[in-house]
Each structure stands twice: as C-alpha cells, then as structure tokens.
Amino acid sequence: MAAPKNTFKAALREGRFQLGLWAALGSAYAAEILSGSGYDWLLIDGEHGPNDMPLISAQIGALHRSPTHAMVRPPMGEAWILKQLLDQGAQTFLIPMVESAKEAEALVRAVRYPPHGIRGVGAGLGRASDFNRTPDYLTTANDEICLIVQVESRAGLAAIDEIAAVEGVDGIFIGPSDLAADMGLLGNPGAPEVLAAITHIFARTKAHGKARGIMTVSLPQAAVYRDLGADFMAIGTDVNCLVSAAEALRRSFLGEEGSEKRGGGY
Ligand SMILES: O=C(O)C(=O)C[C@H](O)[C@@H](O)CO
C-alpha cells in the first residue's frame, strides 16, 4: 500500500481549479467545521496564525479523511520544521517569502527522501504512514508531495523565472499583501502596480508549466485574479468569516445599517 494520493496535486495537474479558505484560528475544531463547507483546500497558517506543531498536527488530523485538502504554511521554509510536518501527514506546503532558485531547490530537497532529498526517515511514527501501517510509504511518498512557494517581494518578482523553473516546485503563490508592502504600497494590495506584478508572475509561472495561486478576501478582486488565470485561490479567512458573520447578526437583530470598517491588509 502506497502513500496517500495527493488529490490537490492531481487536480492541479488535470487543470481543475481549486477553491480554498485560510485557516488562522489555530483550532482543529474550526478546521473540522470548515472541512464540511465545500472548499477544495484549507490553508493551515503557521506563519500568521497562533499555531504550533501540536495544533497544526491536530488540524491536519481534522482534515485527514475529509474532501478538503490540508495545505500547510510553516512560519519559514526550513528543513527541520518541514520534516516534522511531513511526518504529521502534510503533503502540500505553502512556503512564504521565497526569493531565489537556490532557496526553492533547498525546499525541494527538504521535502524529498534520499537520494532526491534530505528528508529524515521517521514517518513510521506519524500520521503520514498511517502510523507505520503503509508498507510502501517510503518509496512512494516523494511523488505525492506538492510544494508551492510564495513570491511576495520585489526580489521574488525579479527571480520569478529561475524560481518557477526549479524541478520539484509545483506552483507559485502570490501574497498580495506582502508584495504590496515590499513595493511601497503597504495595505494596498489592489493597487495597479501590484496587479501588474501579479499579471507578470502569473504569465511567467504559466510559461514554466507551474500552477498559479493567490488569495484575497475581496470577491471582486477574486474575479479579476480568476480571469488572470489563477489555478487555485483562497477567497477568505476563517477569522474574517467569524468577525463578519457575528457583526452582521448583531446589526441585523438591532436593525442597524452599514458594515464595520476593516483594515487595509488581511
Ligand atoms: O502576503 C499575503 O497576502 C499573503 O501571503 C497572505 C497573508 O499572509 C495572509 O495574511 C492572508 O490573510
């Protein structure tokens, strides 16, 4: 019996758009609730959510046998944390702030077993191998890993072709908020200059045969990104959903008009 099939990676390869949601509450219960909401993937945010390894593992577990695929973002793309996340069953990774082919190549090695990489052998202790109940896990795991790197700075923008060309990078994900910030447009990810950069990154990513990803909490902006060719996209966050729904309920009961003001980033 082989490593679990990565349904998200397979969908991208078949050209099937994948709709996602950001999970930053740091709650396995919330992740389990959201797994029934019809999204193709859920991003477990270890960069901006109050997540540690036990919490991320619990969220991976909450999604484990659901139709919603777990995508995990570590705080940084470092081999030691990727090793732990892999053994906990993560198969799809979103790595923040990648700015060179050298960084991307190191990430590819970190998520693969030798001879193609440096991943330590320990999955027999973890969910990845169904706790050592998957006889062929070691020899089949590499192919079911999906590595997505974030391009979200001027340096990453300048290096997009070398990054997208790296064998083993399956997709490029744009972080509009951080990209805007680095472009001197903090809090304004919808600025024309940012859209121009996104358009270029998408075009070069497509040229290298890789998947194009992005996120937004604005549905009009999501339509623009979809028209630009996004292959996978998050259209909201659990935090925003909770805040907006709770405040809308209060206003509705009290008969209040209008909506709460939000900050520029998300
Ligand atoms: O820079 C971005 O935009 C992202 O990478 C997404 C954000 O980190 C996250 O805050 C989404 O809410």
Atom of ligand 1 nearest to the CA of 24: 12
Quick: pLDDT tens for 192-239: 999 999 999 999 999 999 999 999 999 999 999 999 999 999 999 999
Distance between Cα 13 and ligand 1 center (Å): 24
Q: Which CATH class is domain 7-254?
A: alpha beta
Q: How is 83-134 classified by DSSP, letter by letter?
A: HHHHHTT--EEEES---SHHHHHHHHHHTS-TTS----S-GGGSGGGTTTT-
| pLDDT over 70 at 109, yes or no | yes
| pLDDT over 60 at 264, yes or no | no
Q: Mean of the per-residue pLDDT values for the chain?
A: 96
Can you tell me the mean pLDDT for 148-170? 98
Distance between Cα 147 and ligand 1 center (Å): 17
Respond yes or no: is residue 200 known to be catalytic: no
Q: How confident is the model at residue 259 (pLDDT cuts 50, 70, 90)?
A: confident
Q: Where are the domains of the chain?
A: 7-254
| CA angle, 134 then 69 then 153, to 5° | 120
Q: How is 10-38 classified by DSSP, letter by letter?
A: HHHHTT--EEEEEE-S--HHHHHHHTTTT
The ipTM, to two decimals, is 0.93
Can you tell me the mean pLDDT for 96-115? 98
**What phi and psi, each to the nearest 5 degrees, are found at residue 118?**
-120, 10
Q: Is the CB of 238 under 6 A from ligand 1?
A: no
Question: DSSP 3-state assignment of 171?
Answer: strand
Q: How confident is the model at residue 135 (pLDDT cuts 50, 70, 90)?
A: very high
